[in-house]
Structure formats: C-alpha cells, structure tokens
Structure 1
Amino acid sequence: MNNGSNRTVPPGCTDPPPLAMDIILNLDIFGIILYSVLTFMAVVSLLVFMEECIYIYKKVPAHKKSVIIWVNGAAPMIGSMSCLGMWIPRATMFTDMFSACYFAIVVFKFLILMLEEVGGDEVFLKRGPKHKLRISTGPCCCCCPCLPHVAITRRSLFLLKLGAFQLALLKTILTMLSIVLYTNGTFDLSDLSITGAAIWINPFVGVLTIIALWPVAITFMHLKAALRSLKIIPKYAMYQLVLILSQLQTAIINILALNGTIACTPPFSAPARGYMMCQQLLILEMFIITLATRLLYRRQYDPLPREEEDADNENTKMVALPESA
C-alpha cells in the first residue's frame, strides 16, 4: 500500500451495488434520518403533482391540459425515480433511463406549450408577415450572430416541432435498445472502450438532445416578449434547471466517480456511490423545483386579450382563445 503497484483495493469496492435489504439493515441513525427525509420529499412532490393535475383538469382549457401536466410532471417524476434508485441501487440505471425518456418528451411538450399559450399554430403563423425567427441562439448557434433570420411558415413550424420531437422518439428507442443490450451483457455504463455500446449510444443521445433544445430556444426567444405576462421566462428557467440538474449534474458526478475522484465507501463502489449521490441530490432539488413550478402554473387560465393588428408594443401581442365548451 506504499505505492501504486502495491495498492490494494478495500473489500467491497469492486462488488456490485448492494441490495435494498442490505441498505436497510446497515443504516445508522444518520442514514435513517437522511433516507426518511428524502423519501418524504419525494412523496410530497408526487402529492403536490397529483393535486396540481386535479386543478389543471378542472380549470385549464382542454387543449392545454395535456401539455401542462407533462411539463409539471418533470420534477416530481425525476424525484420519484431518484427515490427508487436511492432505495434500490441496482435499479439506478433503469430509473435514470426512465427519467431521461420522460424529460425527452417534456422538451417537445414545452415547445407545444409555448405555441398553445400564444394561441396555437394558426396564430403563430399569423406572426409571419411581421416577425422572423432568429436562429442564432443556443445551444447550437449562439456564437453565429451572422446567421440570417428565418421566415415563419408552415415548413419552419414543422421543422421546429420535428427538431424537438425527434429526441422524444429516438431517446425512447435507444433506451429500449440499451436495455436489450444490457440483458445481453454488452451495455455497461462503466465500459468506455471503443467496443462498448455505451460509448456510442450516450454521445449520440447527447447530440440529439442538443438538436432538440435548439428549436425550443428559438421559439422561446421569439415568444418571450409576447408571453411575458404568463411568466414564460421563469417557466423556461425551471425547464432549463431540470435539464441541467438531471443531465449535466448527473454526468459530471458519474465521470468523477469513474475517474476515482469520488472515493469508495463499502458496500458502495466508487461508481455506485456516485450514482447514490446523484439520486439524493436530485430528490432535494426536484422537491424545490416542484414547489416553484406549482406557483408558476397555478393561475386562472382565462382567454387572452385579442391581438391588435396595428399594435407596435410586442408585450401586448396576445390572441383570444375560444371558450371551452
């Protein structure tokens, strides 16, 4: 143990993640309090989401119910899956995959939400004669201000939707493929060799994610002034925060664990401990975001004032929605 060649690995640091019963039997007082508090937070998040679904079902116009429920469910669903991963460490890969698939759908749903808030596709297309889409925005082209603005047409609207929808579709397909390869023993997140499946699938999913975030950002930059009164900026901030915490934060911690920066603490190996830290952090973070999101979306969904054709103030560009039957 005096040098690298003679260094021994502590017992348990190379074992697979422990079983749920092993965790329960080995919890000390601090562990019992920590697990109890985090589980309570996850349960409260789900209860808040269920109460919000009831409110949305009663108060929100029919064409907005689905998208608002999907977007509201991002934080509580990720928190719930993280709670399951905390109690059952061997299922962490599957809970993370479910969370990632859900959020991939939320990316598309948030784009649809912005379109519905402004009045729907037809109202969005009516902005074409006066406005154009600025495509020099993140995460793809924020460093290219010279890019030309794009006209608002049915084709450009279709491409915006397609760019966000492809992540929801392909992420689900790649997740099912990953599970199939895992059962065959050819998908291992810790296998970073060129012959491993994870080294090919995960970067490809990262590229798809960046492509999907681009049309959402374009639409947000185009509509943020028109939807300012509907708190679209803090809503977009919450959506981005969920993305950063559930994807970027998790990736950073897992990379640190694989590199040995995060120490092994038996019965958890370094990667398993990294995953455990991710789950515990996400439960707390998603609990806070769930409460903040509830405040943003809990409002009276009255018809919006009709847009004045000759109005020059962008902040007043709202379109009346038909009363629901």
Structure 2
Amino acid sequence: MGDQLGNTSSINSSESGGCSIGDPYTYQFFPNMTAASIALLVITSILSIVTLVIFLESVIFIQKTLPSTRRKMQVTWIIGLFPAYSLTSLLAIYVPRAHFIATIHSSLYLSVTLYCFVLLIFDYYGGFDAAIVLLSEDTSSIAFPPLLCCCVCCLPKVKVSKRFLRIMKRLVFQTALVGPIVRFIATVLWTDGRYKPGLIAFDEAYVYLNTILIVSTVLAMYGLQAIYKVSLTLLKEFRLRPKFLSVQITLLLGNIQNAFLGILVSTNVIKCSDPFSSKTRANFLFNFLIIIEMFLMSIAARFLFRTRTGNLNYLISRPSLKLTQKVARDDDLETAKKRESQVPNNNVTTGKKSECLDGKAKLFEYTLSDNSVSVSLA
C-alpha cells in the first residue's frame, strides 16, 4: 500500500540535467511561478476554503440534530477527514518544504478516522454489547481484503462472537496507536537528517518505519473490512456501504496517486524545471489532485453524514430477537422516557413502537426468540 499508508513520504526521484535537488524555499518558489501555476494556486485555495465551509456547515447540523454526544463526535471526526487532507495539501503547495510535515499530519488523522468509523458502526447497533447480541446468530468468512481475499474457498466461516468482534476492533485500534508513534519517530529522525523519505536502502530508517506503517495499515483495513462485511446487511438502512467507500476511497486515492507519480518521476516522465526538481513538481501535482478530490468527496459525504436518513436511529432488534424490559429505578425510567421522545429508535421486529428507550438499551435485555440466549447490556 505504499508510502501514503500514512502518506508519510514525499515522492522521491533521482535528478538529472543539473536541476536542483530538494524542495525550494518559499522565496524561491513564488518568484518563479508561471501564470498557469498562479491560476492553479488560486483554484486550490478556493476549493480548500469551500471544502472547509462545507465541513463547518455540516458540523452545525450534526451538533443540532444527531441524538448523542458520542455519535456527534464520531461523525464530525470522520467528515473532518476531507478538509484535513485538503488543508494540509494546500499548505504543502504554498510551502513546498512542508510537504513531509503536511502529509504526516493528514496520515495521522486518517489513522484515527479508521477507528472512529468502527466505533460509529457499533454505535449504529446501540453499542458494542448490542452488536454482540444482534450479530450472535451470524457466521462470517475470514477471507477479507487486503490480506486473505484470495482464500475464499479454503478458509472456513467463523461465528460472529464477542471474541471475533473484539479482535477485529483491536486490529483497527492498533493503527491509531502505532501510526502516531512511528510518525513521531520519523519526524524526529527527519529533523536530524536521518530519515529520507523515499530512499530505499538497508541502512535507512525510512525502509523499516514505512514497513511498520504498511503492516499496521493492512491489519487495520482487514479488521475494518471484517466489521463492515458482517454489518452490511443489518445496517443497510444506515447507508453503510457508501459511508465506508468514502473513507476507503480517500485512503486509496493517496496511495495510488503517490505510487503512480513516483513511477513517473523515476522514469523521467515528470521532468525537472529549474529551480523546481521533478520531486517538487510531482508533489505539487499530487497535492493539487488531492484538493480537487477532497472537494468532491466532501460534497458526497455531506449527502451521507449530514442527513437525518441513516444517522438518527439505532438498530434495536432484528426479527429473531426480542426485547424484555429489565427492572430499573423510577428515575432511570423517567429519564429514558424523556429521551424516547427526543431520539427516534428503529425497531425492525414488528410494526409496534419500540420499547427500547435509549441507544445502548441500558434498561432492556436482548433475548433470542427461542430463549436460548439472554444477554444483559447494563
């Protein structure tokens, strides 16, 4: 998955023809810009500002509309992925030598976003415990991309148990933990001249740190794919598929474009133009494309996350499950009744109004219809 698995490296190249090596300073960059470059700079600035405005408007809607603080935070962080990428890319265009720092920060944001998306999926169920019960009847293949997608025929299906969901959740969580640590080390080494992005050699820290990032991100994507696949049918009305694609496309766009432009630089298709190295020109093109793409992605995300459809409800039950009210204190029931009038809950079992009075079903217990399983969520 390349450098942009945090997008942690600049596009590297070997220079020819006497062109400068390395990114220019701003006092070298702006005086040598052509009319076309200035026009592109204006366009990217406008698009980044519009992307930020779309995000801020969506945040206002989310804070006023979504049912819980937990979901507000999760959705806000996820849709913040697009302005985060856009603004860091804009910074890298204005200050070419900040390209590495800018991509480090966008990569850190993406690492946390993957885990936030997992938490959002569980929140749609009503919490992790609710997801355990609602998925307790299901089985799932473990042949998920990007690790085991070629082993569909030879790998058995496993029961979607608490242990299965917890392992997959931890696989995603580790990238939110490992990513920042590795990138912090890379930044420290980079300031000391010991980390050279794109330079592949056995004695270079880049090779080993980037390998750790690749493994971490692949494991995280595997865990995310597993949770997404087992939830796809039950959470269909929550528009889970397009929401997942919006995050996945963002990850893939950076990886594919970064790798492709790196090939163009190494094959001398993107040539240097003094005082700009081929690496600098490729970085400029990469950031320009990212800004355009994040503008389009932010518009798409607005129709997915900034809506009442698929964002207000909880999946409270399924046809084979029923809810039984637990004994609770009067004040708990009173609080729950107030919340019931404010938060619409979705009950797919019957046409009757759901008895579940809050998102995590704290006042109820799930029971399989054949009474073989009873799990308390308190």
Fold shared by both chains (TM-score > 0.5): yes
Partner of 1:177: 185
Counterpart mapping for 1:79-118 below 5 A:
79-118=86-125
Cα distance in 1, alignment partners of residues 357 and 17 from structure 2: 65
Residue identity opposite 2:151 in structure 1? C
In structure 2, the partner of 1:135 is: 142
How far apart in 2 are the matches of 1:321 and 1:191? 57
Q: Answer with 1 or 2: which has the greater Rg.
A: 2
Does residue 37 of structure 1 match 2:43? yes
Matched positions, count: 313
**Is contact 1:16-1:269 (8 Å) kept?**
yes
Which of 205, 216, 224 matches 2:232? Answer: 224
> Any unmatched runs of 5+ in structure 2?
1-14, 322-346, 361-378
2: CA distance between counterparts of 1:317 and 1:218? 25
Matches within 5 A, 1:1-325: 9-11=16-18, 13-60=19-66, 61-145=68-152, 146-300=154-308, 301-304=311-314, 306-310=316-320, 316=348, 322=358
Please state how far the C-alpha of 1:255 moved relative to its aligned partner: 4.0
Distance 2:144 2:359 in 1: 35
Tell me how far 1:189 sits from its aligned partner.
Answer: 1.2
> Residue deviations 1:17-38, cap 9 Å, x none?
1122332222232222111011
Q: What is the deviation of 1:216?
A: 0.6
Native 8 Å contact 2:20 2:275 kept in 1: no
Q: CA shift at 1:251, angstroms?
A: 2.9
The CA deviation at 1:129 is 3.5
Larger mean CA deviation between 147-156 and 302-311 belongs to 302-311
The separation in 2 between residues aligned to 1:278 and 1:111, in whole angstroms, is 29
Deviation at 1:247, TM superposition (A): 2.4
- For 1:124 and 1:305, how far apart are their aligned partners in 2? 9
Deviation sequence 1:233-259 (CA, Å, 0-9, x none): 111111111011122322332343245
Using a 3 Å threshold, how does the CA distance of structure 1 residues 186 and 130 change in structure 2: closer, same or farther?
same
Q: CA deviation at 1:67?
A: 1.1
8 Å CA contact retained: 1:257, 1:273: no
1:126-164 Cα offsets, whole Å, 9 max, x none, are 134311232111111111112222223332222111100
Query: Which one-letter code corresponds to 2:358 in the other structure?
Result: P
Of residues 90-99 and 20-29 in structure 1, the stretch that sits farther from structure 2 once superposed is 20-29
Partners of 2:266 and 2:136 lie apart in 1 by: 53
Q: What are the superposed Cα offsets for residues 70-125 of structure 1, whole Å, 9 maximum, x if unpaired?
A: 11111110011000001101010110111111101111111111111122112211
Q: What is residue 5 of structure 1 aligned with on the other side?
A: none
Q: Against the structure 1 CA distance between its residues 80 and 243, is the aligned structure 2 distance closer, same or farther, given a 3 Å change threshold?
A: same
Q: CA deviation at 1:49?
A: 0.9
Q: Whole-Å Cα distance in 2 between the matches of residues 195 and 308 of structure 1?
A: 56
Shift of 1:219: 0.9
Percentage identity across paired residues of the two chains: 26
Q: Structure 1 length normalisation: TM-score? A: 0.89
In structure 2, how many angstroms separate the alpha carbons of the residues matched to 1:133 and 1:81?
39
AA aligned to 1:303 is N
Decide whether aligned partners of structure 1 residues 184 and 306 sit closer, same or farther in structure 2, where only a CA change above 3 A counts.
Answer: closer
Deviation at 1:302, TM superposition (A): 3.3
Question: 1: distance between equivalents of 2:288 and 2:178?
Answer: 28
Q: Provide the C-alpha distance between the structure 2 equivalents of 1:191 and 1:247, rounded to a whole number of angstroms.
A: 17
Distance between the aligned counterparts of 1:141 and 1:19, measured in 2?
45
Distance 1:82 1:181, change over 3 A: same
Contact 2:22 2:279 in 1 (8 A): no
Cα deviation for residue 323 of structure 1 reads 6.5
* 8 Å CA contact 2:24, 2:96 repeated in 1: yes
Q: Counterpart amino acid of 1:97? A: I
CA contact (8 A) 1:186 1:196 kept: yes
Aligned-residue CA RMSD (Å): 2.3
Equivalent residues of 2:168, 2:223 under 8 A apart: yes
State the distance in 2 between where 1:100 and 1:323 align.
32
Structure 1, unpaired ranges of 5+: 1-7
Distance, in Å, in 1 between the alignment partners of 2:128 and 2:168 is 12
Tell me the CA shift for residue 204 of structure 1: 2.1
| Distance (whole Å) between structure 2 residues aligned to residue 321 and residue 285 of structure 1 | 41
